[in-house]
Amino acid sequence: MFPPRSAKAAWTQRIAWATDRAKVADDNWVRAAAAAAANNGSGDGAGTTTSSSSPPPPTPIVHPGVNNTKYVLMPVDKQRVDATDARAPPAMSGSYINYDLAPHALKKIVADAEATRSAAAAKAEAEAEASSALELELEPEAKPAEAKPKPPTGAELPTPRALRGLREGDVELSFLGTGSSAPAKYRNVSGIFLDVPSRGCMFLDAGEGTFGQLNRLYGAAGADARLRRLKMIWISHVHADHHVGVPTLLAERRARMIASGIENPPPLVVVGPPALRRYLLAYEQVQPLCYHFVACHEVREDRWAAAAANADADAADARRFPSLGFYEERSLNLVRAACEEMGLARVVSAPVVHCAQSYAVSVEAKPREKELVVESENAPAEKAADVVPGWKLVYSGDTRPCESLTRLATDATVLVHEATFENDMDEDAIKKRHSTTRDAVRTGVEARAYRTILTHFSQRYPKIPVLDESVSERTAVAFDMMRVDFARDLPRLPSLVPAVQAVFLDPEEVFGGGGNNTAAANKKKKWGPPPRGGSKSPPRR
Ligand SMILES: [Zn+2]
Ligand SMILES: [Zn+2]
């Protein structure tokens, strides 16, 4: 029997053994083991006693930087990306849904809301016509300058002229993802799809899974067709929930075009923050994508204005001195060409308050002449004056409320605005540079947008966000797979909000007050069929 050896001696032997192995095998893993053994051995002896005649015990393999033995899972209440504090999202269950609500009661809620809205719209229309019918007919350009005395309210507006000439199927806006941060069960991350079926289509943001959502919404054949006539992808900023889906869309589009016999598919215009270009360049090392990149700042309002002012001179210069300003001229021209194909006048980016290089966008359709819309009229003298303005879609990206967004969204037909947090979470909204529901609604009201569609909800509201009395009569809530036909659905969209609120119960009632995680959970929330469009005028500030 050999006397037991000291721990120090045992570890010295281990080091010698492992070092020897490292020399022979030249293996990284074994060298790491030697280093680990050396570290452990310098301590006060975790080694077991061994006899000197037996070979040293095999040294545990330790990969530097990876802890294979202790893996602490993140506590459930902190798993949401947005939940940096300990607020747990409410447990979702079937009881969250109001199963007692009969279908006929649901229909009645929608019908009542729509009747109220129609009456408000008719009243607004009558007022507008009474005050300026003559000017509208004769001098449409004079209207914006004279229509400012009243402070903006959230009350219903008359149907915009831009919508009156549209027919069902002309323009459709689809929501492929309406959640923030990370994909969840009911809401995928941001993805908005604008389709002008006769001309082309474009994406406004494309988070992870956007291609999959496109297939779910339109079916494989429908998604194929739409990818083939895709004209542009516009990305607001380089947070993963807004741009990670772009490479898949580009690669799938390219593959489909090649499969259909187009040998060299035309590059797709991708407008985004400069950082997106680096991401796409890196991705292209792995998979061909086929795109032209244009930075968001190259399609800002001032660039469009300068291009319009200097159109002739720039074109002449570009011909004579191709190297002067070639890139910028080319970038704007690429976007202009894509717009032309889609029947759009402009796609304008505006900086907003979120992370670096964050933008909002305005997509503006071309004005149409009246004879295309109203066929019965045949007065040649009025043709020039009878131009119907094009619709205008504005998307906020992620942002705090800001002047540049309000300016961009002025008189928009549709403002799609992020509303990450409920109204009680102002602090979180400021900290993370997002908007609350109230912020989003207020921006829509101040910009006199005809419809404000809320989206980008924190995943703590998996089914419906918390809506209170701050929601105006012109506001709607987006859901994944929601399709909005401009002519058919846009006017009546807000009438669906009371029905949605009636379907989903107040989690505070269901879970006894502690459910919905808010900083002021004991504050009274207005759920259920709300007092909208009726007696109470919603507060604006
Ligand atoms: Zn986001
Ligand atoms: Zn963001």
In three-state secondary structure terms, 416 is strand
Look at 527 and 483; give whichever has higher pLDDT.
483
Look at 271 and 13; give whichever has higher pLDDT.
271
Whole-angstrom distance, CA of residue 490 vs CA of residue 413: 9
Residue 67 reports pLDDT greater than 50: no
Distance between Cα 40 and ligand 1 center (Å): 45
Distance between Cα 241 and ligand 1 center (Å): 5
Type of residue numbered 85: D
> What mean pLDDT do residues 65-91 have?
47
DSSP letters for 426-485? HHHHHHTT--BHHHHHHHHHHTT-SEEEEE-B-TTSSS-----TT--TTEEE--TTEEEE
Nearest alpha carbon to residue 478 among 120, 193, 106: 193
Tell me the pLDDT tens digit for each residue of 4-43: 556 667 667 776 765 665 555 555 555 655 566 566 544 4
The answer to whether the pTM exceeds 0.75 is no
In three-state secondary structure terms, 421 is strand
Nearest alpha carbon to residue 432 among 181, 243, 207: 181
pLDDT at residue 400 in the model: 95
Distance between Cα 187 and ligand 2 center (Å): 16
Q: Which ligand is nearest to the CA of 358?
A: 2
Q: Which ligand is nearest to the CA of 419?
A: 1
Q: Which ligand is nearest to the CA of 456?
A: 1
Q: What share of the chain is helix, strand, coil (3-state, %, to 5)?
A: 40, 15, 45
Look at 351 and 30; give whichever has higher pLDDT.
351
Look at 453 and 29; give whichever has higher pLDDT.
453
Of 99-113, 149-163, 383-397, 524-538, which range is least confident? 524-538
Distance between Cα 237 and ligand 1 center (Å): 8
- What six digits make up the tokens of 138? 């004769």
Tell me the pLDDT tens digit for each residue of 464-519: 888 887 888 999 999 999 999 999 999 999 999 988 888 887 665 655 544 444 43
> What mean pLDDT do residues 129-148 have?
61
- What six digits make up the tokens of 459? 């995943």
Distance set, CA 35 to CA 32, 336, 451 (Å): 5, 61, 65
Q: Which ligand is nearest to the CA of 353?
A: 2
- What six digits make up the tokens of 361? 């966008």
> What mean pLDDT do residues 296-310 have?
89
Residue 80 and residue 460 in contact, taking contact as beta carbons nearer than 8 Å: yes
Q: Which ligand is nearest to the CA of 418?
A: 1
Chain Cα centroid distance, residue 45: 57
pLDDT band of residue 219 (cuts 50, 70, 90) is very high
Distance between Cα 529 and ligand 2 center (Å): 32
Distance between Cα 418 and ligand 1 center (Å): 8
Q: 498: which residues sit within 8 A by CB, 6+ positions away?
A: 109, 110, 112, 113, 529, 530, 532
Residue 85 reports pLDDT greater than 50: no
Nearest alpha carbon to residue 272 among 357, 209, 395, 178: 357
Distance between Cα 517 and ligand 2 center (Å): 22
Residue 133 reports pLDDT greater than 70: no
Distance between Cα 437 and ligand 2 center (Å): 16
Inter-axis angle of helices 274-284 and 246-259, nearest 10: 50
Look at 515 and 60; give whichever has higher pLDDT.
60
pLDDT at residue 309 in the model: 81
> What mean pLDDT do residues 199-208 have?
96
Type of residue numbered 243: H
How many CB atoms are closer than 10 A to CB 207?
27
Distance between Cα 455 and ligand 2 center (Å): 13
Radius of gyration of the chain (CA): 30
- What six digits make up the tokens of 307? 């291009």
Of 248-257, 291-300, 465-474, 485-494, which range is least confident? 465-474
CA angle 179–180–186, rounded 5-degree value = 30
- What six digits make up the tokens of 287? 């998979």
pLDDT band of residue 110 (cuts 50, 70, 90) is very high
Distance between Cα 57 and ligand 2 center (Å): 52
Distance between Cα 398 and ligand 1 center (Å): 6
pLDDT at residue 51 in the model: 43
Domains and CATH numbers, the chain: 7-67 (no CATH), 101-120+153-372+385-510 (3.60.15.10)
Tell me the pLDDT tens digit for each residue of 162-198: 998 899 999 999 999 999 988 888 899 999 999 999 9
Phi-psi region of 63 (alpha: psi -120 to 50; beta: other; left: phi over 0): beta
> What mean pLDDT do residues 240-257 have?
95
Q: Which ligand is nearest to the CA of 420?
A: 1
> What mean pLDDT do residues 406-427 have?
94
Nearest alpha carbon to residue 461 among 179, 79, 93, 75: 179
Distance between Cα 175 and ligand 2 center (Å): 17
Q: 80: which residues sit within 8 A by CB, 6+ positions away?
A: 89, 181, 182, 458, 459, 460
> What mean pLDDT do residues 112-133 have?
88
pLDDT band of residue 138 (cuts 50, 70, 90) is low
Distance between Cα 190 and ligand 1 center (Å): 7
Tell me the pLDDT tens digit for each residue of 363-393: 999 998 765 454 555 555 444 557 889 999 9
> What mean pLDDT do residues 210-231 have?
95
**Chain mean pLDDT for the chain:** 79
Strand partners, 115: none
Whole-angstrom distance, CA of residue 154 vs CA of residue 67: 56
DSSP letters for 87-135? PPPPPP-GGGB-TT--HHHHHHHHHHHHHHHHHHHHHHHHHHHHHHHHH
Distance between Cα 224 and ligand 2 center (Å): 29
